[in-house]
Structure 1
C-alpha cells in the first residue's frame, strides 16, 4: 500500500472513529437536558429515551412519558408552530426513533401520527440554538429536540 493511500485510509478511519467517540456518551446527559428544559422533577416522568449527536454541530433529543402534565421552563420563549412545521418535526422524530434498536414502537408511531392531539412548540434563539417540542396530550408523551447547526 502506498504512503498516500495509507494516509487517506488512516484519515478516514480516524474520522469514523472520532464520529463514533463524539456521540451522546460525551457531554450529553438526557436527565440534565430534561432538568434544564422542564420544571417538574425527573421522577415525574417515565421511559426516558435519547438520541442524536454532539460534535461540531449538535442535534440531540429526548422522549418520555409524563405521569402528570410536564411544564416547560421558560415557556414564554416558545411559540406555537404551524401545521407544516409540526408535520416536519413529527416526521423527523419518526425517522430518528426508527433508527433506534428495535425500531419505533407502535405507541410512539400512534402518538406522533395523532395530529389532533399532537401539540408543537418551537424556540429559536439568537445564538442559533433551536428547540422543538412535540407533546401528545392523549398519551402524555413528550418529544424534545435541541439542535445547533452552523
Structure 2
C-alpha cells in the first residue's frame, strides 16, 4: 500500500482557485475565516471550532440575566408546559424575539435544542410559566457561554 500526501495537491488547488477568483471578480483574500454572521470560527489542527460566546453574552444581557444564578440544565426536569396554563405573558413580541434568537443559537449549541423546541411551541400564546422556562435556558447559557462545537478533522 502506498500513502499519498494530498495536502500538496489541495494547497496548489486552493492557490489556483484564489488566483482565478481574484482575476475574475477582483476579490480580496481576507485570510482564514474568524467570524461569520455571529459565529466565531477557530481553525486548529484538530478541526474547526464554532462558538457564539459574544452572541450568548449579548442575549443574556439583553434579557437582564447577567446577574442571574447560572443553571445546570436548560430545562427543569419533569416540568410539563401546557397551552393556556396560568397568566398570559405581558410582552409576547419579546418572547417570540428571544425564542428566535435561541433558535439561531442552536447552530453551535445543540445542547439547548430540545428546550428551545418546547418553548417555541407557545409563541402564539405565551404564558408567564413559558417565559420562566425560557429564562431557565438563558440561565443555563449564562453558566457556560464559552462552550464550542468542534467539527473534528478525523
Give the TM-score, by structure 2 length: 0.34
Higher-Rg structure is 2
Higher strand share: 1
Identify the structure with bigger relative contact order (alpha carbons < 8 Å, sequence gap 6+). Answer: 2
